[in-house]
């Protein structure tokens, strides 16, 4: 028991937003690989924060799940033992119901449509909607579009998903999405997915190209169907306990560093996506580009299931946005 108490105390000391002499240290932890574009953007953010504050603020980054899984990191933020983390929008649904939007398929017409919403007032309001749970959103990182990858057969239409067990994030909306397309949704943690694919626990999964490549899931799954059903951004969170402990000037420096890292990360993401697709093709993966009309028709009932709810009103508000001309998702 004594060892457990000492370990817990040392962990709290490690994780907190602390002061080293005259330097405010922000602790940031996440579950991604150090080569991931999100981590590289965080390193850029750390550098910009140090420059803006003339060295009076420092950001220490702990990647690869060193300090816990996503849910554990969120809980550490809530008690103020960790300053910042990155999470996917989907697991945030339990705190911010509006984030269900991102797991509902084909809400956005294009990449530009998505970013018009994220950078507009609606996106900003959603970022701040978790403050009652001590979770303040600082910015969105690009996580591209999610598509299906499978072991045995390609997915050309929703009918090809029938009878297949597809891994999804621990999000009820993601489960409903796969079921609406005819598959059997199976929530599994990201760290356990490679083994689950190998052992046949699931027949496939769905994610963006960089994650498919960096996770090495292409070693098991040889079919990648770019149906691009959802665009679920990553969210950079800070504990409100830590945020409120910063001076107004420190808050400005940190927010500016975040905003600059968002722009930088979007550039890295585009490069990473192109590289990932090229590399998995070299490894023998077949890339399928199915017609999206059949997939869109299959999820109409899911959209209608939200009628007379705030989510449906948000879907209509987003649909009415005038989209800047850009590439279709």
Would you state the pLDDT for residue 239?
98
Whether 262 and 294 share a structural domain: no
Q: How many residues does the chain have?
A: 329
What is the Cα–Cα distance from 317 to 328, expressed in whole angstroms? 19
Would you state the pLDDT for residue 190?
85
Whether 113 and 171 share a structural domain: no
Compute CA 266 distance to the chain's CA centroid, rounded to the nearest angstrom.
13
Whether 100 and 248 share a structural domain: yes
Q: Is residue 195 part of a domain?
A: yes
Number of H helices, E strands in the chain: 13, 12
Q: Which helix (H) or strand (E) holds 73?
A: helix 70-78
Phi, psi (deg, nearest 5) at residue 56: -80, -10
**Per-residue tens of pLDDT for the chain, all 329 residues:** 444 433 443 444 444 445 445 899 999 999 888 989 999 999 999 999 999 999 999 999 999 999 998 889 999 999 999 999 999 998 898 899 999 999 899 999 999 999 999 999 999 999 999 999 999 999 999 999 999 999 999 999 999 999 999 999 888 888 999 999 889 999 998 889 999 999 999 999 999 999 999 899 999 999 999 999 999 999 999 999 999 999 999 999 999 999 999 999 999 999 999 999 999 999 999 999 999 999 999 999 999 999 999 999 999 999 999 765 444 44
**Is there a contact between 127 and 140 (Cβ–Cβ < 8 Å)?**
yes
What is the Cα–Cα distance from 81 to 32, expressed in whole angstroms? 20
Q: Is residue 89 part of a domain?
A: yes
Whether 258 and 161 share a structural domain: no
Q: Is residue 326 part of a domain?
A: no
Q: Is residue 325 part of a domain?
A: no
Q: Is residue 258 part of a domain?
A: yes
Whether 207 and 237 share a structural domain: no
Whether 286 and 181 share a structural domain: yes
Q: What is the crossing angle of helices 310-319 and 121-128, to 10°? A: 150
What is the Cα–Cα distance from 153 to 172, expressed in whole angstroms? 26
Tokens of 191: 């760290």
Q: Is residue 115 part of a domain?
A: yes
Whether 313 and 280 share a structural domain: yes
Whether 212 and 245 share a structural domain: no
Whether 245 and 290 share a structural domain: no
Whether 185 and 240 share a structural domain: no
Would you state the pLDDT for residue 44?
98
Q: Is residue 262 part of a domain?
A: yes
Q: Is residue 327 part of a domain?
A: no
Phi, psi (deg, nearest 5) at residue 22: -100, 15
Which CATH number covers residue 248? 3.40.190.170
Q: Which domain holds residue 59?
A: 2-142+232-273
What tens digit of pLDDT does each residue of 21-63 get?
Answer: 589 999 999 988 898 999 999 999 999 999 999 999 999 999 9
Q: How many independent structural domains does the chain possess? A: 2
Whether 102 and 189 share a structural domain: no
**29: phi > 0 → left, psi -120 to 50 → alpha, else beta; which?**
beta
> Cα angle vertex 66, ends 90, 83, to 5°?
65
Tokens of 291: 């017609």
Return contacts of 210-217, CB within 8 angstroms, 24+ apart.
210/36, 210/37, 210/144, 210/269, 210/272, 210/273, 210/275, 210/276, 212/149, 212/276, 212/280, 213/275, 213/276, 213/277, 213/279, 213/280, 214/33, 214/35, 214/36, 214/276, 215/190, 217/149, 217/193
Whether 16 and 79 share a structural domain: yes
Tokens of 201: 């626990």
What tens digit of pLDDT does each residue of 167-207 get?
Answer: 998 888 889 999 998 899 999 988 899 999 999 999 999 99
Would you state the pLDDT for residue 324?
52
């Amino acid at each position: 028991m004594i060892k457990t108490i000492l370990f817990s105390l040392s962990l709290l000391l490690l994780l907190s937003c602390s002061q080293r002499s005259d330097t405010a240290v922000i602790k940031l932890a996440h579950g991604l690989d150090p080569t991931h574009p999100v981590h590289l953007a965080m390193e850029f953010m750390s550098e910009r924060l140090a420059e803006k504050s003339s060295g009076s603020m420092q950001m220490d980054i702990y990647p690869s799940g060193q300090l816990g899984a996503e849910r554990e990191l969120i809980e550490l933020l809530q008690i103020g033992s960790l300053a910042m983390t990155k999470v996917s929008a989907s697991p945030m649904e339990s705190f911010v119901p509006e984030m269900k939007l991102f797991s509902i398929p084909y809400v956005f017409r294009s990449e530009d449509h998505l970013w018009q919403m994220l950078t507009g007032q609606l996106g900003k309001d959603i970022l701040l909607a978790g403050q009652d749970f001590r979770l303040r959103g600082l910015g969105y990182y690009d996580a591209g579009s999610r598509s299906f990858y499978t072991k045995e057969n390609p997915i050309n239409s929703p009918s090809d998903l029938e009878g297949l067990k597809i891994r999804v994030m621990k999000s009820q909306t993601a489960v409903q999405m796969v079921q609406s397309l005819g598959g059997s949704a199976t929530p599994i943690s990201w760290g356990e997915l490679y083994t689950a694919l190998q052992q046949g626990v699931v027949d496939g999964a769905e994610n963006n190209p960089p994650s498919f490549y960096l996770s090495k899931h292409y070693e098991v799954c040889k079919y990648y169907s770019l149906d691009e059903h959802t665009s679920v951004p990553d969210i950079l969170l800070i504990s409100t306990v830590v945020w409120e402990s910063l001076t107004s000037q420190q808050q400005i420096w940190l927010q500016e560093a975040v905003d600059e890292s968002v722009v930088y990360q979007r550039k890295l993401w585009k490069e990473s996506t192109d590289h990932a697709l090229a590399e998995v093709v070299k490894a023998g993966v077949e890339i399928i580009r199915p017609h999206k009309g059949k997939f869109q028709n299959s999820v109409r009932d899911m959209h209608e299931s939200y009628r007379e709810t705030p989510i449906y009103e948000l879907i209509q508000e987003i649909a009415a946005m005038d989209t800047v001309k850009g590439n279709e998702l």
